[in-house]
């Protein structure tokens, strides 16, 4: 840490540096200080980490300024801020996950996964108990989302193909792009109301699972179009020309070269869209309502879905003894489904990704 | 099986911009024809008009007659897809399909067109094409590996194998060696010598030594002035072109006095 004088006329490449353990010293000191101040002033425990972070963000750049100079201090300061931002992002995420697992995991059992919400009569004890199953909601969520994917993926993909491969900047393409952007901003409840209005033109009391799927696909399509468009634009023009030069017609080039090459990215985009809509509550509540029985048929009658199941149980939590527990378990199931779907999509994407290795 | 190409009064446009003007030439069957000229003079544009690849670019169009085997490529009722099956093309940058293995890349012409081929026939086409492209010895043990894993020179020969696998009559090459090192270039040039027995080859090159080495005829394209359309200055047998050109501009370009 001593200043080395450069030989006269030479250039000095040396400068003072903080010791390598400096950041750790500051962090440990800041944590201790934060804890001490919190205890002395009798603040809530939340104050301790917040104080510690603030102290690190100020102390480390200050120390660096005194020893290392301005540039190094700026570097330390920005590094501290980036780490702080990372923490601010991660804390709620981990917190939510932990909360859901801690409160939801105890409720997950075979009964929950195999029974629906209908009250059942135990012939041994002669007692009728509330349903306590989420099977009907699980089935409903999977069926409704599956139908939404079946509707929105072809529509979204074909729109993207039109925009990227055929439109060539026509007024129609600009209109479609604008509409897609507008659709991205549709509040989900509006999508639900639209689906209801569409299907109840003939029969006002009509309720079926596919209505929810239509509402969800309205929310999915813009995401699918956008991501598929981006992915297809990334396919180099060289590949299209290579296919044309082999006498391959345009539609086959689009199908087998452009879509095939961008498939991995498109699947990821579809998964993002699914993750976005699978937790939607409002449109499903409006469009397909809620029910206690298991209904596999999306074309007839109401269906239960996990978000609505969570909401029902939570609102009844005060009266039903296990309401809160089931709500948290439903939340955990929902997160688990999204995670499993994401994993599957990643594996499929990996299989179809362009191979570059030797 | 090689065919000749007769070009008369061809004008090539990008939208309203006239890029190449008034080209007339006769490209001999079973010979190698090279196009040389400064950048932006329309060599590649003209080459791409020979298999109707030019019109892939929005707004691009061609006027005039390009006759192959008695049929005008731009005549009514001509299917551009059929033209491209007869007139194959190799590009400046190697562009194997990244999702396909070496084997599938060679068969891409039929695979992408969903043609059913027996396994034995497919194997035969792959071996014949890769041998034709001088690549068989290097890749025969790893045909299932991705085509992108090959070196640049190997990728370019893979693209040539892919182009000859569909058995075109004519093969167009757009600066096929400009992204390759001298050894790969030499491999591709040897290949061009072998291929001209079966195909009519048209090659665009910036390398005049290469034109002199590989071609039988040479066309020199030039711009009249900046912003003016490109045009064909001189079209002659390569020997004459490099020894005793008709046009002083050609001599100036070849001897390196401009361009």
Chain-centroid distance of CA A127 in Å reads 42
Q: Are A268 and A341 in contact (CB under 8 A)?
A: no
Tell me the average pLDDT across A22-32. 92
Contacts across the A-B interface (CB distance below 8 Å): 87
Examine the pLDDT at B27 and tell me if it is beyond 60: yes
Q: Report residue A358's pLDDT band, with 50, 70 and 90 as the boundaries.
A: very low
Q: Pick from A238, A245, A358: which is nearest to B84 by CB? A: A245
d(CA A134, CA A228) in angstroms, rounded, equals 34
Length of chain B: 259
> At residue A3, does pLDDT exceed 70?
no
Among B73, B80, B93, B95, the residue to mutate for chain A (most A Cβ within 10 A): B95
Phi and psi (nearest 5°) for B230? -75, 160
- Write out chain B residues lying below 8 Å of A240, CB-based: 56
Q: What is the 3-state secondary structure (H, E, C) of A236-298?
A: CHHHHHHHHHCCCCHHHHHHHHHHHHCHHHHHHHHHHHHHHHHCCCHHHHHHHCCCCCCCCCC
Smallest Cβ distance to A238: which of B85, B91, B112? Answer: B91
For residue B82, which residues of chain A lie inside 8 Å, CB to CB? 247
Task: Give the pairing of strands B71-72 and A120-122.
Answer: unpaired
CA distance to partner chain B, nearest, from residue A245 (Å)? 5
Among B47, B106, B112, B170, the strongest candidate for a mutation testing the A interface, having the largest count of A CBs within 10 A, is: B112
Contact at CB, B149 and A256, closer than 8 angstroms? no
Report the mean per-residue pLDDT for chain A.
87
CA distances from B44 to A26, A239, A258, B3, B172 (A): 64, 18, 24, 20, 10
pLDDT greater than 90 at residue A233: yes
Say if CB A134 and CB A327 are below 8 A apart: no
Residue B60 sits at φ, ψ, to 5 deg, of -85, 140
How confident is the model over A77-121, as pLDDT tens digits? 999 999 999 999 999 999 999 999 999 888 888 878 887 777 777
Distances (CA, A) of A8 to A4, A5, A12, A173: 12, 8, 10, 69
Contact yes or no for A307/A284 (Cβ under 8 A):
yes
A145 within 8 A of A277, measured Cβ to Cβ: yes
Section B240-257 average pLDDT:
87
How many angstroms away from the CA of A223 is the closest CA of chain B?
25
| Pairing status of strand B71-72 against strand B60-68 | antiparallel
Q: What is the pLDDT of residue A1?
A: 47
| Cβ count within 10 A of residue B76 | 5
- pLDDT at A313 (0 to 100): 85
CATH assignment of A135-352, among 1.20.200.10, 1.10.3720.10, 3.50.40.10, 1.10.10.60: 1.10.3720.10
Q: Name every chain A residue with its beta carbon within 8 A of the beta carbon of B106.
A: none
For B222, other C-beta atoms within 10 Å of its C-beta total 24
Tokens of B52: 């109707």
Please name the residue of chain B whose CA is at the shortest distance from the CA of residue A259: B99
For the record, the structure tokens of B50 come out as 């020979």
Give domain limits for chain B: 5-95+168-254
Q: Contact B112/A257, CB-based, under 8 Å?
A: yes
Residues of B in contact with A260 (CB under 8 A): 99
Return the CATH architecture of domain B5-95+168-254.
Answer: 3-Layer(aba) Sandwich (3.40)
Contact at CB, B99 and A253, closer than 8 angstroms: no
Hey, what are A278's tokens? 């699978």
Q: Could you tell me if B102 and B147 are in contact, meaning their C-beta atoms sit under 8 angstroms apart?
A: yes
Residue B228 main-chain phi, psi, to 5 deg? -85, 160
Return the pLDDT at A318. 67
Residue B227 tokens read as 């912003």
Question: Measured between CA atoms, how close is B239 to chain A, in angstroms?
Answer: 31
Decide if pLDDT at A357 tops 70. no
Distance between alpha carbon A275 and the CA centroid of its chain, in Å? Answer: 5
Q: Are A278 and A335 in contact (CB under 8 A)?
A: no
Q: How far apart are CA A188 and CA B108, in angstroms?
A: 45
**pLDDT the model gives residue A42:** 86
Of B88, B101, B112, the CB nearest to A252: B112
Instruction: Provide the pairing of β-strand B5-14 with B230-237.
Output: unpaired
Question: Which residue of B49, B80, B97, B106 is the best one to mutate when testing the A interface, meaning the one whose CB has the most A CBs within 10 A?
Answer: B97
**What integer best gives the mean pLDDT of chain B?**
89
CB neighbours (10 Å) of residue B32?
26
Q: Which of B99, B129, B155 to mutate to test the interface with A (most CBs of A within 10 A)?
A: B99
Backbone φ and ψ for B25, nearest 5 degrees, come out as: -165, 165
> Residue A110 — φ and ψ, nearest 5°?
-60, -35
Q: Is A115 in contact with A132 (CB distance < 8 Å)?
A: yes
3-class DSSP state for residue B95?
A: coil
Q: How far apart are CA A192 and CA A209, in angstroms?
A: 12
Chain A contact set for B98 (CB, 8 A): 239, 261, 354-356
pLDDT digits (tens, 9 = 90+) for A191-210: 999 999 998 887 888 888 89
Residues in chain A closer than 8 A to B142 (CB atoms): none
Tokens of A234: 């990334």
Q: Do A247 and B81 touch (CB under 8 A)?
A: yes
Give the C-alpha separation, B77 to B94, whole Å. 32
* Residue B196 token pair: 């001209």
Domain ranges in chain A are 22-106, 135-352
What are the DSSP calls for A13-64, one per residue?
A: -------TTHHHHHHHHHHHHHHHHHHHHT--TTHHHHHHHHHHHHHHHHHH
How does strand B71-72 pair with strand B87-90?
A: unpaired
Q: Quick: pLDDT tens for B44-90.
A: 999 999 999 998 888 899 999 999 988 999 989 899 999 999 999 99
Contact B97 A355 (CB under 8 A): no
Mean pLDDT of B26-40: 91
B118-167 pLDDT, tens digit each: 999 999 999 999 988 888 999 999 999 998 889 888 999 999 999 989 88
B78: chain A residues, CB-CB within 8 Å: none
- DSSP for A119-145, written as a single string: -EEETTTTEEE-----HHHHHHHHHHH
Report CB contact under 8 Å: A249, B97. no
Distance from the A265 Cα atom to the nearest Cα atom in chain B, whole angstroms: 13
Instruction: Return the pLDDT at B1.
Output: 58
CB atoms within 10 A of CB A320: 17
**Residue B100 vs residues A239, A279, B94, B148, B149: alpha-carbon distances, Å:** 12, 38, 14, 8, 11
pLDDT in tens, A272-308: 899 889 988 888 988 888 888 888 888 888 888 899 9
Interface of A with B (CB under 8 A): 168, 236, 238-249, 252-253, 256-257, 260-261, 352, 354-358
CB atoms within 10 A of CB A63: 17
How far is it, in rounded angstroms, from Cα B230 to Cα B228?
A: 7
CB distance B95–A253 less than 8 Å?
Answer: no
The complex's ipTM?
A: 0.89
Give yes or no for residue A123 having a pLDDT over 80. no
């Amino acid at each position: 840490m001593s200043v080395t004088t450069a030989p006269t006329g030479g250039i000095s490449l040396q400068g003072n540096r903080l010791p390598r353990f400096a950041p750790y010293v500051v962090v440990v000191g800041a944590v201790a200080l934060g804890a001490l101040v919190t205890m002395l002033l009798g603040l809530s425990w939340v104050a301790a980490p917040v104080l510690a972070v603030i102290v690190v963000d100020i102390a480390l750049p200050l120390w660096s300024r005194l020893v290392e100079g301005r540039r190094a201090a700026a570097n330390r300061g920005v590094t501290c801020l980036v780490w702080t931002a990372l923490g601010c992002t991660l804390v709620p995420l981990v917190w939510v996950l932990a909360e859901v697992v801690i409160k939801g995991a105890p409720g997950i059992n075979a009964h929950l996964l195999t029974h629906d919400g209908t009250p059942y009569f135990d012939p041994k004890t002669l007692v009728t108990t509330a349903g306590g199953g989420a099977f009907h909601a699980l089935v409903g969520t999977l069926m409704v989302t599956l139908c939404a994917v079946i509707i929105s993926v072809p529509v979204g993909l074909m729109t993207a193909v039109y925009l990227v491969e055929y439109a060539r900047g026509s007024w129609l393409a600009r209109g479609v792009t604008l509409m897609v952007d507008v659709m991205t901003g549709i509040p989900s409840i509006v999508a639900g109301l639209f689906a209801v209005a569409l299907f109840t033109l003939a029969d006002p009391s009509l309720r079926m699972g596919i209505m929810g799927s239509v509402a969800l696909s309205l929310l999915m399509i813009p995401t699918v179009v956008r991501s598929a468009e981006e992915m297809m634009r990334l396919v180099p023009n060289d590949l299209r020309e290579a296919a044309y030069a082999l006498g391959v017609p345009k539609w086959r080039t689009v199908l087998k070269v452009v879509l095939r090459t961008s498939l991995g990215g498109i699947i990821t985009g579809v998964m993002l869209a699914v993750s976005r809509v699978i937790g939607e509550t409002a449109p499903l509540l409006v469009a397909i309502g809620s029910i206690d029985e298991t209904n596999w048929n999306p074309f007839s009658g109401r269906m239960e879905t996990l978000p609505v199941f969570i909401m029902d149980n939570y609102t009844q939590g005060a009266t039903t003894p296990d309401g809160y527990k089931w709500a948290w378990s439903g939340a955990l199931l929902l997160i688990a489904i999204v995670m499993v779907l994401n994993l599957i999509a990643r594996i499929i994407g990996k299989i179809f990704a362009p191979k570059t290795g030797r | 099986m090689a065919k000749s190409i007769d070009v008369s009064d061809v004008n090539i446009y990008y939208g309203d911009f006239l890029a190449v003007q008034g080209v007339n030439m006769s490209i001999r069957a079973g010979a190698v024809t090279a196009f040389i000229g400064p950048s932006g003079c329309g060599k590649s544009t003209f080459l791409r008009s020979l298999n109707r690849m030019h019109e892939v670019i929005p707004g691009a169009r061609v006027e005039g007659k390009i006759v192959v085997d008695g049929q005008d490529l731009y005549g009514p009722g001509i299917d551009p897809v059929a033209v491209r099956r007869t007139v194959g093309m190799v590009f400046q940058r190697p562009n194997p399909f990244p999702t396909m293995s070496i084997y599938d890349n060679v068969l891409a012409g039929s695979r992408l067109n969903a043609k059913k081929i027996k396994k034995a026939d497919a194997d035969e086409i792959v071996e014949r094409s890769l041998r034709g492209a001088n690549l068989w010895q290097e890749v025969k043990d790893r045909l299932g590996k991705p085509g992108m894993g090959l070196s640049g020179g190997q990728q370019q020969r893979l693209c040539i194998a892919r182009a000859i696998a569909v058995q075109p009559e004519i093969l167009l090459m757009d600066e096929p060696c400009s992204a390759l090192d001298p050894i790969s270039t030499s491999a591709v040039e040897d290949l061009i010598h072998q291929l001209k027995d079966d195909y009519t080859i048209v090659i665009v090159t910036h390398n005049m030594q290469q034109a002199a080495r590989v071609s039988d005829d040479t066309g020199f394209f030039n711009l009249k002035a900046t912003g003016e359309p490109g045009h064909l200055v001189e079209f002659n047998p390569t020997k004459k072109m490099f020894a005793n050109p008709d046009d002083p501009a050609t001599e100036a370009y070849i001897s390196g006095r401009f361009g």
